[in-house]
Amino acid sequence: MRIGIGYDSHRFSAGRRLILGGLKIPYGKGLLGHSDGDVLVHAIIDSIIGAAGMGDIGRHFPDTDPRWKDASSIEMLRDAIGAVGERGYGIVNIDSTIITEEPRLSPYIPDMIDIISKTGIPEGALNIKAKTNEGMGFIGRGEGVVAISVALLYSGR
């Protein structure tokens, strides 16, 4: 068994769609990023890559690579699960938290789990939590969103 942690943060920006957990969420602004800015999926990817000891998301999806420009983070996650799978690793479970003052995300979590799980995560193996930062700091001021994730992998070899 191997464990990995993932952290990501993205800044809110007017004129962007808000994509979280692969889901388009109606809100007045979205997250800035080279890809779709899906901070939750990026944290999940980093936790999986980290658990496999394969570096980080930037090594697998360099922002200089046009293949991943405006890419769907869900496709990046599918690619990452494939890459750790080639090394003999499978997912035991993933637990994650999104931290944002707005919008309220709990109604969207079941759909996020459905969308993210289709990339190759076993049923019941993905947990997503959402919370605010109690008004404190850059999250509290609504400047951006943070996500953290831990992933546990088993080795099939």
* Binding residue (CB under 5 A) for Mg ion from 4, 6, 8, 30: 8
Residues facing 98 on adjacent strands: 130, 147
Interacting positions 107-126 with Mg ion (CB under 5 A):
none
- Other beta carbons within 10 angstroms of residue 94's beta carbon come to 25
Q: How far apart are CA 22 and CA 96, in angstroms?
A: 14
Q: Does residue 130 bind Mg ion (CB under 5 A)?
A: no
Q: Output 27 or 92, the one with its CB closest to Mg ion.
A: 27
Closest residue to Mg ion: CB criterion: 42
The residue among 102, 106, 98 whose CA lies nearest residue 142 is 102
Window of 8-16, 102-110, 122-130, 140-148 that interacts with Mg ion by CB under 5 A: 8-16
Q: Does 89 bind Mg ion (CB under 5 A)?
A: no
Q: Does residue 42 bind Mg ion (CB under 5 A)?
A: yes
Give the nearer residue to Mg ion in terms of CB position, either 56 or 134: 56
Q: d(Cα 13, Cα 31) in Å, to the nearest integer?
A: 6
The position carrying tokens 């360099």 is: 62
Q: Residue numbers of the site for Mg ion (CB under 5 A)?
A: 8, 42
